[in-house]
Every structure is written in C-alpha cells, then in structure tokens.
Amino acid sequence: MSRTGRQQNHEVNMKHTTMRLSLLAAGVMLASGGLHADDQDTRAIAERLVDEHFQESTLTREEQIEELMWFAKAAEPFRGMDINTVAEGLTTHIYERDVLADAFTELTGIEVTHNIIGEGDVVNNMQTQMQSGRNIYDGYVNDTDSIGTHIRYGTTINLSDAMENEWADYTLPTLDLDDFIGLQYGTGPDGSVYQLPTQQFANLYWFRYDWFQREDLQKQFRELYGYDLGVPTNWTAYEDIAEFFTEHVGEIDGEKVYGHMDYGRRDPSLGWRFHDSWLSMAGMGSPGVPFGNPVDDWGIRVNEQSQPVGASVSRGGATNSPASVFAVTKMVDWLDKYAPPEASGMTFGEAGPVPAQGNVAQQIFWYTAFTADMTDPELPVTDEEGNPKWRMAPSPTGPYWEEGMKVGYQDVGAWTFFDSTPEDRRTAAWLFAQFTVSKTVSLEKLMAGLTPIRESDIFSEQMTEMAPKLGGLVEFYRSPNESNWTPSSTNVPDYPRMAPLWWQNLSPAVSGDISPKEALDNLARDLDNIMARLARAKVFDTYAPNLNEERDPQYWLDQPGSPKPKLDDEMPQGKTVPYDEMMEAWMAAGSRE
C-alpha cells in the first residue's frame, strides 16, 4: 500500500471510529433513559481524566469521554476486584503503571497492579504458568517473539475466538484492530490473533548526520574508498565507514571516535543481539514477510503444515549456513576492530546509552527504544535547540539478502492471556489491556514512550510536529516499508526454551574461543535436539516439530532458496546514498509483497 493509501486508510478508520462512538453514546443514553447520578459521576471522572492526562488524542474530547464511559459500564461486574498484570521495564510500561493503571482503577473500580520486572523474569513466569497451570499474573505483556509458543501449547487464549464469544460484551467497540501496525506479529498461521500489541520498536541503522555532512570528511572518504560517504546500503560500505572513522579520522574535536558500536558480554542479552534478525539482515533466510517462508530468521525451516523440520543445513535449515557464518564473523570482527574497547564487556543495557555520549559514528544494530534517551538537549548528540545531530535510517543488508526478504527486527510487546487464569480475573485484565491501547490514551502513551502501535497516532498532527526532534522515527513508521522489520516467527516452537541456546552457543565465538562456524554448528544441533525432544514429549496441541532426516548438507545447498551456498564474493563494492535522498525514496516506496 502506498503512503497516500495508508493515510487514506487511517482516515477511513477514524470516520468509522467516530460513527461507532456516536452509536455507543446513543446506546448508553437510551439504556439509561438519560444520565443517572452514577452515570453523571462516571462522566465527571472521565472528563477529569481526559483533561488531566489524555489531552493529546486522535479522538475529540467528547469521543474520549464516551470511550471511557464504556469502560466504566463494561467493568461493573468486576468492580472491587484486584488484578495483577506484568510487563518489562520499558518507559512505555512504566507509563502504563504510573498513569494508566491508576486512571483505570479510578474509572472502573478494578484495582490494577501493573508489575514491572525484568524481561527474562516475565518469560520465566509465563513459562511457569503455562507448564504448571498455576495463575501467577492475570495478564502478561509478552513479546510476540513467543507467537510460535502460544499457537502450539493450547494454553494461550485465542483472542479472535474470545472476542466473538466470552468477551463479546467486553470488547471495546472502538478497539479498531485494523489500526494496529503490528497485529500480524501476534497472529497464527490460521489467521487467529493471540497477542494484542501495546508497544513496538525497531532495530535500525543509526549514524552521526552532522559528521557525515562535513565536507572535509566527505572528501577524505572519497579519496580513500572511491565512493561517497553516506548511508550504507550494504555491509561492505558499513565496514568501510567503520574503518574510516576508527582508523583514519581517529579524533574529532580532540576526542577519540569509533566507527561502530556493539556489545559482547556473555549474558542473555547477547542472544538478542543475534536472534533479533541478525542472520536475516545478512540474507540467510527465505523471502516472505513477515517471517520468511519456509526458512525464517532463526534459520528454522517449516513444511507446508507449519511444522518445524530443522535448523541445521543437514535438515534443510540455515542456522549454520554460509550466510549465517558470514553474519556472525562480521559481528565478531567489527566488535574487535572498530568499537570502543570496553564494548566487548558490555551487555545490551550498558551499551545502549553509549552512542549518546558523542564518540560513535554509526551503529548498524540500534534499537529505537533508545530514541527518547537521545533527545535530551544536554547531550553532545543534540544541538543548542535540542535538534538531533544524528539520524536513523533503514539498515544495510548483507550479500545474501534478496528482494522480498525481511530487512530487520521489530520488537512488539503484546497483551497475552492464559486459560489458567480464572475467567473473571482474565476478563477484567482484558478490559485493562484494551484501556492501555485505546485511542483515548494511545497517543499520550506514544509521546511518553515513543513505541507506536496505531497508524492513526503515527499520522497524527502531534507526531508530525514532534518528527524533527526524533531523527527519522516518525518517517520510518509512516513508510509502508516499515512492515519489513519483523519479530521472531511462528516457526520457533518454544521461544522460552530455545532463545537461551543463542547466547550460550555464540558467546564462545564472540570471545574468540571457537570459530563462528563451530559455534553455529553447535547452535543448530542444539536447536534440532530440543525440537526433537519436544516432539517426542507430545507437549504441543498443534504444529509439532517433525524433523527431516539428516543428509549431506550439499544436497540442501544445491536446492533453490535458503540455505544458500557460499558466495564467491561476500564483500562486493560498497554502496551508499545521501540520507535525504534515501528518505525520499523510503517514503515514496510501495510495500513489498
């Protein structure tokens, strides 16, 4: 869909929302014969919440009030109940805890405790609840990376079914699922929605726009490399730019500078560094959005029945394929040669703020969740007016990448519910979940956390006004190509069990103890082994692994598509484009099929 088409689409959705809200308001009035005293009290609370907390919205003030009054009415059977929900410690979820939970409690009489814990702890608690059947939390914000888990175990609530049946009277008439930009990532192969997005951020290329614009540096780069300094579109250019700033520029304004930033400490977050689409950025997987079919961004192949058949090349997977070896080799080399020396001992959280300190030229693997941290006017990466000296842009792709493949990673935190939660508590939590993503509150939440979930918010006047301060974030999400950045796929049958295998197996390669090829062979074998064990245990309701028999890897490398044979030239001529020219093309582009 073109950009104009997307704008028209969300304008139509907004008209439909307005119609639904008008009908909703009329229904409330007819049912009550006018506003009774309780309704008047509820309206007063709704008016105050809008005026105090939710002034920025794509809805009118009256539409917001009517939406809030629906929540109060729907919540009446659960008034006085205490519920517990949980999310990881992102700014967006802290806003949900500190503002939205209190507002919902006041409005509905349902006491919500929105717990903020570590991401790993969220996954561990979720796994325990799924396995034991013991209710720990009434609702989880869980990354859609776990969608493959949720569709298989039979314990996760199918939201599509629930909204048509037991939640028919408790589903917000103006929820507007078509307005969500990441709904497809929490959707199973059968088209059913299992997870409802509440925050979303991407993994992009980040660079110092001001340095790239300097004529002296442009001249020096052209003399050394034979092409222009600009946004790299392939990994060769990224490497050339990393080398240029680290070894040839060396210092800017008396400070040592580096051409690359990353992290390498043996830690669970090192797994994110790799399974968050790093191999697919190099071109390891198959074409097809959102995940690559039949081989996804983990290198796991599925058959036509969506059953995983292997991660190893010997089974038709690509986890230890030449493209994967190339990707891991480059990560290790760049970390060693072009990043600050301390980066190899850092975790994700420690490395994230480093580019904001002002001595890094670019980062190929940068999470937009750090955007808010980059906008402080006191930072060396902003000018006197608070405008960014940096920009974000589409990620460069590796030599194995081909048109139609996903380009990078998108993290989507989404509301997830389990059948082990008592139905009344689950329904009350569903109401709170919808409240946190409703159009009444979603734009204010976006402005607080910069993790968009609604197309209507992205195209709002408020975000147009904020865009110059955000270095390309708004432009990224307004482009139809945004849908080529996607989370882990439905091919991954048990994310909580399988994700740790990445950092455990690849950290020895990062530290130089074994080669990337050895590390990936170990990883692919372990992925296959755990899928085989799960299949034997018969723990899945659907889409159980059915591994291919092992055969000579060359058989699969000789077949069309992924896994792909080693290229004769993995480092072709570097290519760059000027940032402004790239963004024009980016915004004008049509989405890939």
Average pLDDT for 72-101: 97
111 and 148, same structural domain?
yes
Cα–Cα distance for residue pair 211/311, rounded to 1 Å: 42
Question: Is residue 11 in a domain?
Answer: no
- Nearest of 218, 180, 216, 175 to residue 199 by alpha carbon: 180
- Show the 3-state SS of 46-71: HHHHHHHHCCCCCCCHHHHHHHHHHH
102-160 residue pLDDT tens: 999 999 999 999 999 998 899 999 999 999 999 999 999 999 999 999 999 999 999 99
297 and 215, same structural domain?
no
**Can you give the pLDDT at residue 31?**
41
Tokens of 143: 């990354």
Question: Is residue 293 in a domain?
Answer: yes
Cα–Cα distance for residue pair 493/460, rounded to 1 Å: 38
Question: Is residue 498 in a domain?
Answer: yes
User: What rounded mean pLDDT belongs to the chain?
Assistant: 93
225 and 154, same structural domain?
no
Question: Is residue 23 in a domain?
Answer: no
Question: Is residue 91 in a domain?
Answer: yes
220-276 residue pLDDT tens: 999 999 999 999 999 999 999 999 999 999 999 999 999 999 999 999 999 999 999
169 and 108, same structural domain?
yes
344 and 247, same structural domain?
yes
373 and 230, same structural domain?
yes
**Can you give the pLDDT at residue 38?**
76
262 and 163, same structural domain?
no
458-496 residue pLDDT tens: 999 999 999 999 999 999 999 988 999 999 999 999 999
**Can you give the pLDDT at residue 29?**
43
Length of the chain in terms of residues written: 593
**Can you give the pLDDT at residue 403?**
94
160 and 84, same structural domain?
yes
152 and 58, same structural domain?
yes
Question: Is residue 562 in a domain?
Answer: no
Look-up: residue for tokens 């092992």? 550
Tokens of 137: 């939390």
321/372: higher pLDDT: 321
386-435 residue pLDDT tens: 899 999 999 999 999 999 999 999 999 999 999 999 999 999 999 999 99
159 and 85, same structural domain?
yes
Q: Does position 83 have pLDDT exceeding 50, yes or no?
A: yes
pTM: 0.91
- Nearest of 311, 291, 283 to residue 299 by alpha carbon: 311
**Can you give the pLDDT at residue 471?**
95
Domain total for the chain?
3
Query: Which one of 363, 385, 410 terminates a domain?
Result: 410
Question: Is residue 591 in a domain?
Answer: no
Query: Which one of 349, 383, 410 terminates a domain?
Result: 410
Amino acid identity for residue 22 in this structure? S
**Can you give the pLDDT at residue 68?**
98
Q: Does position 37 have pLDDT exceeding 70, yes or no?
A: no
312 and 404, same structural domain?
no
Range of the domain at 294: 288-324+493-557
367 and 381, same structural domain?
yes
Question: Is residue 58 in a domain?
Answer: yes
Amino acid identity for residue 465 in this structure? E
